[in-house]
Amino acid sequence: MTNNSLETLRHSAAHIMAAAVTELFPQTKVAIGPSIENGFYYDFYRKEPFTTSDLEKIEAKMQKIIEANYPFKCFSMPKEEAIKDFNQKEEKYKVEIASQIDGDTVTIYKSGNFIDLCKGPHLKSTGGLKYFKLLSVAGAYWRGDSSRDQLQRIYGTAFFTKEDLADYLKKIEETQKRDHRKLGKDLDLFSINELIGGGLVLWHPKGALLRDIIESYWKKFHIENGYELLLTPHIASEELFRISGHLQTYSENMYSSIDIENKPYRVKPMNCPMHLMIYKIKLHSYRELPIRYAELGTVYRFEKSGVLHGLLRVRGFTQDDGHVIVLPEQLEEEMLRVFNMAVDCLKTFGFKEYKIYLATRPEKKYVGEIQDWQKAQSSIENALKKTGYEYEVDEGGGAFYGPKIDIKIKDAIGRFWQCSTIQFDFNLAERFDISYVDSSGKKKRPYMIHRALLGSLERFVGVLLEHYAGALPLWLSPIQVAIANINEEQETYCKDLFQKLKQNGIRAILDDRNEKIGHKIRENVIQKIPYIAVIGNKEQSTNSVAIRARGNKDLGVMPVDTFIALIKEKSMPGINEL
């Protein structure tokens, strides 16, 4: 089936759902009900919240409407008449929509007793919907405006075949199992406390250790690739962001000013202005370029509470940030270098399939001359061609200050996530008046590249947890080995083993609780620890360990030194299988 026909099916399902809701709950007011990428939704105003049992009732009522096989009848109506009818029914959302439609007539669809303002298209009749499922209820503001009515949004999905529906529901079940918010709680990695504030992450000991592992790899990787590491403050004078243009163009995403000795300051939404101030400390020769700066810089951006989502959408996050100052003739080579860096980094974390986009000049709002955009886009495209990867052109998808490369990674269940961005910038070099001295002694304007390989660390950790379903590779696991004794006779041996593993740089815990060994093993399995070393009298007497690997693999008994060598071999970054 085509996407268009699937959209028609799902749009029709939304109308059937709205008909069922208004029959079951007559005081409910209807808003909008479109098809979306993986299904449909409809927004309703109702004082009482919809419950899980309500969804079951709505599904049953929908089934009766489907069995009745009401035709979808389409007809035009004078706009003023439609507004009058919806006013009489106290359907204020439909009145508002109708009032904003151009022309003197509106399109109406009727199925059974349900009448809706809608452009269509729809199925011929309600009986055309056979395979559907209501999924969840969420909050939504009318017109997406938090100052307006709070609505309830019921989500559902529909397919043409029973098999497609079953496959999709199975994927949803798998997605729910992999939800990083659940995994973060179950594995004791992080939390978000409303007393501290939404979108602000508390990293627990194991989560902080995971962050440190990623950050340590990141720093080493960047130093090896010719970057200099920077550290910059969390706040800066408001004047800095006025010069950068963020205050004029990005203020809705910035937090209010802080008065310090009668001078306004802001928490930073970006690291780049500070990096450029470091560049400007001294005069640079063309021989020094490219200059590559990198920082794991924590930034703060305002996000509405309704869009906050675990680690994936937060208000404070640490950005995997880098800025490269290059000569104009170095742009293509450096773009290629950064792209290859990004791919190497993503492969290390186990991501090997990508969607790559070249985002070009917006049609209207942009800075710089068209010929400079064309030159930059040509350089970037030449770099992409040399990578050997297929890419798509996202016409007009660039930022107002320059074209960019976006890399989306494919996870274990086929979802794509935006991570790496390589962004050319016409704007900041000009605003901060940065320069270099060319071979003839004249000051020239360099080019500037923003780049992030992982995106934000918060979001990247969330993606990692969902990709691996919490079962992180050995090199990333905060705890690599759990030592579990069978009884108190092995306590001393286990403590000595614990110290030996620590001395060898292996992250271990000692589970010497007075519990049965089966209970200890089960709990450490739930924690997704890669290896469990079970110690009984036999292991103690032979200076060995009985190893259970994640995935219920029994590796048998082996000498302690052999086990240590195994852990070290498989702990190298980029080895993502046990």
DSSP 263-331: EEEEE-S-SHHHHHHHHTTS--BGGG-SEEEEEEEEEE----GGG-BTTTB-SEEEEEEEEEEE-GGGH
Question: Locate tokens 């691996």: which residue?
Answer: 468
Exposed, middle or buried: residue 146 (CB in 10 Å: 0-12, 13-18, 19+)?
A: exposed
Asked if residue 276 lies in contact with residue 428, where contact means CB atoms within 8 angstroms, the answer is: yes
CA–CA gap between residue 82 and residue 110 (Å, rounded): 13
SS3 of residue 403 by DSSP: coil
Residues in a beta bridge with 133: 157
Structure tokens at 180: 């990083």
Q: Please list, residue by residue across 105-124, b when 16 or more beta carbons sit within 10 angstroms of its beta carbon and e when fewer do.
A: ebebbbbbebbbbbeeebbe
Tell me the residue type at 5: S
Active site amino acids:
272, 301, 319, 321, 323, 404, 450
Q: Residue 325, by phi and psi: left (phi above 0), alpha (psi -120 to 50) or beta?
A: beta
Give the helix/strand (H/E) hosting 546.
strand 544-549
Whole-angstrom Cα distance, residue 157 to residue 130?
Answer: 11
Residue 536: strand, helix, or coil: coil
Spatial contact of 50 and 156, defined as CB atoms under 8 Å apart: no
DSSP-based three-state secondary structure for 44:
strand
Q: Is 60 exposed, middle or buried (0-12, 13-18, 19+ CB in 10 A)?
A: exposed
CA distances from 82 to 31, 38, 91 (A): 15, 31, 11
The C-alpha atoms of residue 253 and residue 237 are separated, in whole angstroms, by 17
List, in sequence order, every beta strand (DSSP E) within 199-257: 202-203, 228-229, 235-237
At residue 392, what is the residue type?
E
DSSP state of 472: -
**Residue 281: which region, alpha, beta or left (left: phi > 0; alpha: psi -120 to 50)?**
alpha
**How many C-beta atoms surround the C-beta of residue 542 within 10 A?**
12
d(CA 153, CA 144): 12
Q: Which two tokens stand for residue 411?
A: 């996870």
SS3 label, residue 1: coil
Q: Which structure tokens are listed for 74?
A: 């389409």
